[in-house]
Amino acid sequence: MLSAVIVRPTDAGRSHDADLLGRLLEGDSRALRAIYDSFSSLVFGLARRVTGNSASAQDVTQDVFLHLWEHPDAVDLSRGSLRSYLGVVTHRRAIDAVRRTSRATARDERAGREAGVMAPSHETEIVEADFDARASQRVRDAIVGLPSEQRQALELAYYGGCTYREVAARLGIPEGTAKSRLRLALNKLRELIELHERMAPA
């Protein structure tokens, strides 16, 4: 029997997650509503932090929950909780959204330079998104600015749903090193988030 060596998530809510995912597989839209009610704030908030834009965050939120409805079998509870999974997918899709916007912005700027004027839609967008962008930029910068080994450890731990032991195994480093990288990463992230909160207008 192999049960002793099968790695189980520490998630006490695994049974609840399993129930909701089972119902999604069966096509029960009430399960989608229940999952949305539990996690939409996390998904929307994370998406807004990364994109710096409420409209983009709403698009990402819609994509994430629609993807879950279409592919509930993509969630592997042996690797992490439903919340971790949604965090991973949200993060990836938000990054994709930022990249798409950056590419579009670059195109607009090129077109503007060629025409000798700034594209009006781009100008309007900058004014509207300025506050959101500045507010979220620090968090993005905090994550992006972490040393790569700390960022990798944090991403595996939170967005990848790994325990520090699994982080150590995945990165091929001792468990103590994984633990200290995570602590350093979280420490730095907290400092930057607090700085952001202090600087934000009341």
- Site residues (CB under 8 A) for another protein? 1-3, 5-7, 9-11, 15, 18-19, 21-22, 25-29, 32-33, 36, 40-46, 48-49, 54, 58, 61-62, 65-66, 69-70, 72-78, 80-81, 83-84, 87, 157-158, 160-164, 169, 179, 182-183, 186-187, 190, 193
Element (H, E) at 185: helix 175-199
Q: Are 184 and 191 in contact (CB under 8 A)?
A: no
- 40/27 Cα distance (integer angstroms): 20
Q: In this structure, are residues 97 and 59 in contact, taking their beta carbons and an 8 Å threshold?
A: yes
CB of 13 to another protein, least distance (A): 8
Q: Looking at beta carbons only, is 26 or 114 nearer to another protein?
A: 26
For residues 18 and 126, which CB has a smaller minimum distance to another protein in the complex? 18
> Which single residue is written with the structure tokens 């607090």?
194
- The letter for the amino acid at 110 is R
Placement of tokens 């990249």 in the chain: 99
Kindly state the smallest distance separating residue 104's Cβ from another protein, in Å: 22
Between CA 131 and CA 136 the distance in angstroms is: 9
Tell me how far, at minimum, the Cβ of 21 lies from another protein, in Å.
Answer: 5
When the beta carbons of 75 and 129 are compared against another protein, the nearer one is 75
- Cβ proximity of 21 and 82 under 8 Å: yes
Between 125 and 156, whose beta carbon lies closer to another protein? 156
In the complex with another protein, which residue's Cβ is closer, 118 or 193?
A: 193
Q: What is the residue whose two structure tokens read 């597989």?
A: 25
C-alpha to C-alpha distance for 48 and 57, rounded to whole angstroms: 5
For the CB of residue 147, give the shortest distance to another protein in the complex, in Å.
Answer: 18
Work out how close the CB of 135 gets to another protein at its nearest, in angstroms, rounded to a whole number. 11
